[in-house]
Chains A and B, each alone.
Chain A
Amino acid sequence: MLEVRDITAGYGQFTALWDVSLRVDHGEAVAVVGPNGAGKTTLLRVISGLIAPRAGALTFDGTELAGRPAHQIVRHGIAHVPEGRRLFPALTVADNLKMGAFLPAARARFTESLERVYALFPVLAERRAQRAGSMSGGEQQMLAIGRALMSRPKIILLDEPSMGLAPVLVLRLFDLIRRVREEGYTILVVEQNVRQVLKLVDRAYLLEVGRIRMEGRAAELAEQDFVRKAYLGA
C-alpha cells in the first residue's frame, strides 16, 4: 500500500535520512523506532509531503507521490498526526474536527465521520465547544487523531503520540490507538516508547542516524536485543 524506496532527505546542508526504504501493507500497523535524532519525524514529514525528498520514490496505492506538496498528498488518503499534535489552539474542538474534513470528499461525509470520531473518543463530544488549546495533553492527542480520521484516510501517520503524556495516560492512549486499528485503519507510528509500541504493531523498523538498521515482526523483535538497541543505538 505505502512503499518508500531509497529516500534521502534533509534540511539545507544537513542530511537526516539516507536511502531509507520501508513498506506498509493494507491493514497493517508498523512502527519506526529509534533514538532521538534518528530521523523518524523527518521520515513521516517526507511521506506526508511537508519535506520534498532529495532522492528516492514514494508510492501509495500505485501512485508516485514523492515531491508533491502536503495538501495534495492528503487527498490520496494519507493523514499525518504531526509531532506535538499541532492543533489549532484557538479553535473549538468541533472546529478542529471540521478542519480535518476540509477536503471536498471528506466534507460530503462529515456527519458520518463526526459520529465515528465521537463514538471512538466520547470525551471530544463532551468538549466540542471548548477551545482545543485549553484541553489536557491526553485529550489533545485524541483530538489530533480524531482530526486526522475526519479526512477519511486509508493510512494514518502518528508521530510520537505518547510524547508529553503521563505514564498512565500513555497506556490509555495505546489502547485507543489499538481501537483505531480495529476500525480497519492502516497505521504507521513513530515512537520512543518501544516496549509499548511493539505490543501494538505487526512489524517494526529500527531507524538510526538516518538509516534503517533492523526490521522484522514485532513479536520476534521484542525477544531480541531490539528494545535495548532502539533506546541506546546498535
Chain B
Amino acid sequence: MSIDPIFLVEAAVNGVLLGGVIALLALGLNLIFGVLDIVWIAYVDLVMLCMYAIYFLVTVQGWPIWAAGIVSLAVGALLGVAVHLLIITPILTSPPINQLLATGGLLFFLQSAATLLWTTDHRSVRLSLPSWEIGGIFLPATRLIPFGISILAVIALYLFLTRTYIGTAIRAVSQDREAMSLMGASPQRIYIVTSAVGGLMAGLAGALLIFQYAVHPFFGGQFGPLTFMVCVLGGLGNMVGAFIASFIISEVIAVGGVVISTEMGYVIAFVIFIVMMFVRPGGILARRQ
C-alpha cells in the first residue's frame, strides 16, 4: 500500500488544526475537574446545546456566525453555572461514584431532551468560506479559523489563570480549598466562576466545531470520550499535559485515518491510550515514582 506523502503531510496538518479545538474541550473539562474534583461527564453535551443555539440563530434567524458565536459563549457560561448550582452543589460532598452517576445522568437527559425537541436530524450551518492551497495541501478556512481562535483562547485562559486574582485563586483552590477560604475567598463563588469559565469554553468549542461538524443529539458521543481520553492522558487536572495530549491524540486520529481508515485512526488512538495507562498511569507529564 503506497500513499502519496503529500496526503500524510496534509493529514498531519489537519491533526494539528483539530488538536486546537480538542485542547479547548480538554482544558475546559480539566479546569473544572482541577477545582471541583468532579468530572462533568456531560461536558460535551453542553457543547451540543451551544451548537444548536448557533444553528438556529444562523439558519432560522439569519444571524451572522460571529454574533451567534458570541451568544454561544454566553449560553455556555450560563449552562456551566446552571450545572454547578442545580447538579453539582447538592452532591459536592457525596462519594465520587454518585457524582459520576449524576453528571452521567445529565448526559442522558440532555441527549434525550435534544432528541425530543429537535429530532435526530444532523444539522449543519453552511458557511461559504475560502480555501487555500499551499504546496498541494488544502487549507480550508473552516479549519484554520477554529484553530486560530482556539489557540488565542488557550493563551487567554493561560493569562486569566496566571495574571488575575480570581484566576490565581482558581489554581489556589485546586491546591488547598480551606487555605483559600482563609484568604477571604468564598469557595462557592470560586466554584461558580470556574464553572462559568468552563461553560464559556464549551460555548466557544461549540462555535468552532460547527464550522466543520453537523450537530445532532448524540454529538457528545463523538467528542466526549475523546476529551476524557485526552484529559487522562495528560494527567487529570494537569493543564499543560492536556494541551500536549490533545495534539498527540488528534495527530494519531488524523494520520491513522489517512493511512488506514477513519475508524482505525480512533482504534489506534485508544490503543495508545490504554498502553499509556499501564506505562504512565499519572499522565504523560507525571513524575515517575
Q: Do A and B come from one complex?
A: yes
A80 and B168 within 8 A (CB): no
The answer to whether the Cβ of B165 comes within 8 Å of any Cβ in the partner chain is yes
B169 and A99 within 8 A (CB): yes
The answer to whether the Cβ of B110 comes within 8 Å of any Cβ in the partner chain is no
Which residues of chain B (157-175) have a CB below 8 Å from chain A?
165, 168-169, 171-172, 175
In order of increasing CB-CB distance, the 6 nearest A-B pairs are: A74-B184, A86-B179, A103-B184, A70-B181, A102-B183, A88-B172
The answer to whether the Cβ of A163 comes within 8 Å of any Cβ in the partner chain is no
B171 and A88 within 8 A (CB): yes
B165 and A80 within 8 A (CB): no
Flag A67-83 by CB within 8 Å of B: 1 or 0 each.
Answer: 00111001100011010
A100 and B183 within 8 A (CB): yes
The answer to whether the Cβ of B262 comes within 8 Å of any Cβ in the partner chain is no
The answer to whether the Cβ of B185 comes within 8 Å of any Cβ in the partner chain is yes
Q: Quick one: closest A residue to B179, CB to CB?
A: A86
B176 and A70 within 8 A (CB): no
A99–B181 CA distance with the chains assembled, in angstroms: 10
The answer to whether the Cβ of A48 comes within 8 Å of any Cβ in the partner chain is yes
For B169, B176, B186, B187, which residue has the most chain A Cβ atoms within 10 angstroms? Answer: B176
Known: A91-B171, A91-B172. A102 touches B185 (CB 8 A): yes
Q: What's the minimum C-beta distance from B234 to chain A, rounded to whole angstroms?
A: 16
Task: Identify the B interface with A (CB < 8 A).
Answer: 165, 168-169, 171-172, 175-176, 178-187
A99–B185 CA distance with the chains assembled, in angstroms: 9
A91–B169 CA distance with the chains assembled, in angstroms: 10
CB contacts (< 8 Å) of A57 on chain B: these are none
The answer to whether the Cβ of A87 comes within 8 Å of any Cβ in the partner chain is yes
A185–B168 CA distance with the chains assembled, in angstroms: 27
A90–B185 CA distance with the chains assembled, in angstroms: 18
The answer to whether the Cβ of A6 comes within 8 Å of any Cβ in the partner chain is no
A99–B177 CA distance with the chains assembled, in angstroms: 12
A71 and B185 within 8 A (CB): yes
Seed contacts A48-B182, A103-B183, A106-B184; 20 additional CB < 8 Å A-B pairs: A50-B178, A50-B182, A71-B181, A71-B182, A71-B185, A80-B182, A82-B178, A88-B171, A88-B172, A88-B175, A88-B179, A91-B168, A95-B168, A98-B168, A99-B168, A99-B172, A99-B180, A102-B185, A151-B183, A151-B184
